[in-house]
Structure 1
Amino acid sequence: MTATHAQPYTQRVRRRTKAGAVRDVVALVLLPVPLLVALPFAFAGGSGGTRRWFGGRAENVRADAQAAKDAAAAAFYELDTAQRDLRISIETITAVDSSPKGRKAVEDFAALGRRIDEVSHTYITAVDAHDLDRDDLEASTAARARAELTSAKDELVRVKGELDRYAQALGPLLDTAETQLARLAPAVERARQALLAASNALDAVRASGLRADDLAARLAALAPELTKLNQGAGRHGVPETLHRADRVVRDAEAVRTEAERLPERAAEIDRRLVSLRTRAQALTTRAGKVEPILSELRRRFTVACWQDLQGVPAQTASTVRQAEERIKEAAKARDEQRWPDAVSLLSTVRALLNSTDEAVSAAGDRLQRLNAVSKDPQQEIERTRFAIRDAQRLAMAGRNTPDPRHARPLDDSVARLDRAVAGLEGRHPDYWHFLTETEAVRRTVARVVSDIREERGGGS
């Protein structure tokens, strides 16, 4: 129902009511005193000048028609008010919900609007067709007016019922839309505050002498997003504005966090530079001991025991040089405040030194293990046999015969250990081969034990 439908009727009703009241008052005031005295007698009945509709059935019909008109006006007002209130709800849903359900709700409201326009037109036509204030109003005309106004009222009430049912079904959609609208202002404000906090953190970092150019660029990139937030949801829509606000909060907080951590990050890079320089120097010193270790390995053990270590001294020297070059590059990046580059270079240095440390340690560990096994291989043998026997007991637990999947690799491990022990009987035993074989046997046994426990654990 549009305002153009309701307003003319309301104005007409008010105009007619007020005009009728004024005419009655003016007529009474202008009458001569004798007529005023005689007026009650004229209303009481009698002959001559008395209007036909006063008294009796005709007057009752006029009153009924007026009552029907008042009832229809009330129904019209209730329907108009409900439609206006519901239009606000629809506008709320339209601003937030573009889903198929939201679109259908709008379409249904439009269809109801057309029905409301139809019944409102019928009502207004009935009101305009009958002037119940006419002095010469016929009883039949009043009866017809009552019937038409009653019918119009019934239609208004029926459509009002449809509108109420529609409004009730609209509840979940409206609740969701109102929830999103309620989130809108706080979300936009959080975004503004997050940007302000990031800007303040960046200013504080710069005041300490750190440029933080990358963080400044990331913060500047959020400026267009703030502009769109300030333009409001009316232009960009509520869902998109909420998503934009959340995104701005997330990105601005990331900038703020990194800005606040930047002094600590710079100090950490400085500490790592010092630590890695010291470590590189220590590795250079340790690398000098590799050659004497290799000389002893060559003198006391077969070629197979040390051949794979021949390249360790040259490899160590080369790797340490690379690490020292990367340390210089990292220091330069630190001075230029290229923080990501500095961190990346230091990670490369650490990887280089780790590999060098392993190679240097391998030579010393090799000599130590070969010395131990050459003096007493029985300890290594017993250690490996104990592992096999322990796995065999586990494989037989609760069974009369072991599972072939477990028994076969354990039997193969026994045979492999026996062959490794037999290899020590020569004049120049390959102790390194013996050690690698026993280690391989223990790894195989450990896998079998793990499989058994996993199967039994899963079945329990």
Structure 2
Amino acid sequence: MDPQGDTARERDVTGTHARPDSRAGATVRDVLALIAFPVVLGAVALPGAFAGGGTRRWFGGRGESVRADAQAAKDAAAAAFYELDTAQRDLRISIETIMAVDSSPGARRAVDDFAALGRRIDEVSNQYINAVDAHDLDRDDLDASVAARARTELAAAKDELVRVKGELDRFEQNLRPLLDTAETQLARLAPAVERARHALLGASTALDAVRASGLRADDLAARLASLGPELTKLNQGAGQHGVPETLQRADRVLRDAEAVRAEAEQLPARAAEIDRRLVSLRTRAQALTTRAGNVDPILSELRRRFTAACWQDLQQVPEQAAVSVRQAEDKLKEAAAARDEQRWADATSRLSTVRALLNSTDEAVSAAGDRLQRLNAVSKDPQQEIQRTRFAIRDAQRLAMSGRTTPDPRHARPLDDCVARLDRAIATLEGRHPDYWHFLTETEAVRRAVAQVVADIREELGHGS
């Protein structure tokens, strides 16, 4: 309702309003007349007076009944007006709650609809107030026709008030989902802000403990300091920054502060882990340097006993190993410097690089020794490798025939190719200087192809079941 409507409705809802000045003047004249002419007025009044005295003129019978009906209509309208006014005030609180939380199109539409309802409420309220102001049911000389008209107008005003109250009730029901969501968010607000503040305190306490142990943790301190402005906005409240924004800010502060706290608490263990890895990787680099020195004798034996195809790809291993170990040692020095300066991320990154270099060097150095061992074994007895491969093929063939009279071409064809490929690999051993490494790589390739066929068959059997 508009301010004028609210002002009008702040008068007694029973309908007893401040009357115009003309009525006040009439009352004063009545009092003055009683003072000026006591005997005459008393004589006139006595014949019509009831027991108990009084000067009110009663027009009994039907006239008094009409007056009573009008008064009842006035009371009913006042009650309807009061109910509508109370409902509107309560609903305005709900709308303000939604406005504080929700800026969605649905919420904006609800605000507009409530404003339109408010204008309708002002109309029917003014109709009621005008009806009350138009008729003074307490007048002594109230005419029965005037009382009847007052009853009709007040009853109509009451009906309009009740009808609009029904519209307001229906609007409130439709508003319930938006209101429930808004109230839920408001209920989350205070706990969310409190959790954020508590998380900031926990992060600060953890950081103080880390610094007390001799670790600077400058990056964590900077991250925690960056949350200061966010805390200021949280303290300013949702009234200034809005409920959704404040909830999001509280969640963000909570998440970031918890991350700082967790990293601060883990920092001593992280420093100890970096120290352990520095020692471990130095030891490993030294061991690899010793092992790399044994690659040259292995290569010499491979050159002496086997064809060039068996060892040519290993020629660069000693040189590459030496280069990789030197690179690893340089990175170890950088990691140690980063550790001393408490640049934890840099130290961890350098150690990861060292580990990768040493892993690749270890594989290359191990490959030379493994090559010599495998070539020695196959040169003495190639049948073991042949039988191992044939067994894999036969096992796959049995699986391909399981439940069939003829194999599926999709499986039979690749298995037949594997048999032919194995036969060709065996044939390479018949020369004066067999290429044992080619033979070994071929048999490995055959077994991989067979394994793929087996996997395909098992997948189809699984789908079929």
Provide the TM-score with structure 1 as the length reference: 0.93
The answer for the alignment partner of 2:197 in structure 1 is: 192
Q: Does 1:319 align with 2:324?
A: yes
Q: Which of the numbers 161, 170, 173 marks the counterpart of 2:166?
A: 161
State the secondary structure of the residue aligned to 1:132: coil
Matched residue type, 1:281:
Q
Q: Does 1:260 align with 2:243?
A: no
The one-character-per-residue Cα deviations of 1:30-82 (angstroms, maximum 9, x if unpaired) are 9999x99998863349xxx9876432222221121111111111111110000
Contact preservation (8 Å) 2:8, 2:129: no
Cα distance in 1 for residues equivalent to 2:332 and 2:46:
119
Cα distance in 2 for residues equivalent to 1:94 and 1:459:
60
Contact preservation (8 Å) 1:417, 1:437: yes
| Paired residues for 1:163-182 under 5 Å | 163-182=168-187
| Paired residues for 1:235-246 under 5 Å | 235-246=240-251
Q: Does 1:11 align with 2:11?
A: yes
Cα distance in 1 for residues equivalent to 2:38 and 2:55:
18
Q: Does 1:382 align with 2:391?
A: no
The answer for the alignment partner of 1:271 in structure 2 is: 276
Cα distance in 2 for residues equivalent to 1:446 and 1:244:
56
The answer for the alignment partner of 1:136 in structure 2 is: 141
The answer for the alignment partner of 1:348 in structure 2 is: 353
Cα distance in 1 for residues equivalent to 2:227 and 2:9:
54
Gap regions ≥5 residues in structure 1: none
Contact preservation (8 Å) 1:75, 1:153: yes
Q: Which of the numbers 121, 144, 147 marks the counterpart of 1:116?
A: 121
Cα distance in 2 for residues equivalent to 1:10 and 1:345:
78
Matched residue type, 2:244:
P
| Paired residues for 1:63-74 under 5 Å | 63-74=68-79
State the secondary structure of the residue aligned to 1:428: coil
Greater alpha carbon shift after TM alignment, 36-45 vs 326-335:
36-45
Q: Does 1:455 align with 2:457?
A: no
Contact preservation (8 Å) 1:53, 1:137: no
Q: Does 1:284 align with 2:289?
A: yes
Matched residue type, 1:5:
G
The answer for the alignment partner of 2:153 in structure 1 is: 148
| Paired residues for 1:201-220 under 5 Å | 201-220=206-225
Shift, 1:159, TM fit: 0.5
Shift, 1:7, TM fit: 4.0
The answer for the alignment partner of 1:79 in structure 2 is: 84
| Paired residues for 1:10-29 under 5 Å | 10-11=10-11, 13=15
Greater alpha carbon shift after TM alignment, 336-345 vs 92-101:
92-101
The answer for the alignment partner of 1:126 in structure 2 is: 131
Shift, 1:356, TM fit: 0.2
Note closer, same or farther for the CA distance 1:262–1:37 as it changes in structure 2 (3 Å cut).
farther
How many equivalent residue pairs?
452
The answer for the alignment partner of 2:364 in structure 1 is: 359
Contact preservation (8 Å) 1:53, 1:138: no
Cα distance in 1 for residues equivalent to 2:5 and 2:355:
82
The percent identity for this pair of structures is 80
State the secondary structure of the residue aligned to 1:427: coil
Shift, 1:85, TM fit: 0.3
Shift, 1:459, TM fit: 2.3
Q: Which of the numbers 417, 421, 441 marks the counterpart of 2:422?
A: 417
The answer for the alignment partner of 1:298 in structure 2 is: 303
Q: Which of the numbers 31, 49, 53 marks the counterpart of 1:43?
A: 49
Note closer, same or farther for the CA distance 1:36–1:381 as it changes in structure 2 (3 Å cut).
farther
Cα distance in 1 for residues equivalent to 2:214 and 2:167:
70
Cα distance in 2 for residues equivalent to 1:382 and 1:401:
25
State the secondary structure of the residue aligned to 1:123: helix
Note closer, same or farther for the CA distance 1:399–1:32 as it changes in structure 2 (3 Å cut).
same
Contact preservation (8 Å) 2:57, 2:140: no
Provide the TM-score with structure 2 as the length reference: 0.92
Note closer, same or farther for the CA distance 1:37–1:454 as it changes in structure 2 (3 Å cut).
farther
Contact preservation (8 Å) 2:45, 2:55: no
Matched residue type, 2:105:
P
Matched residue type, 1:309:
L
Cα distance in 2 for residues equivalent to 1:404 and 1:219:
67
State the secondary structure of the residue aligned to 2:265: helix
Q: Does 1:373 align with 2:374?
A: no
Gap regions ≥5 residues in structure 2: none
The answer for the alignment partner of 1:426 in structure 2 is: 431
Cα distance in 2 for residues equivalent to 1:294 and 1:50:
138
Contact preservation (8 Å) 1:374, 1:431: yes
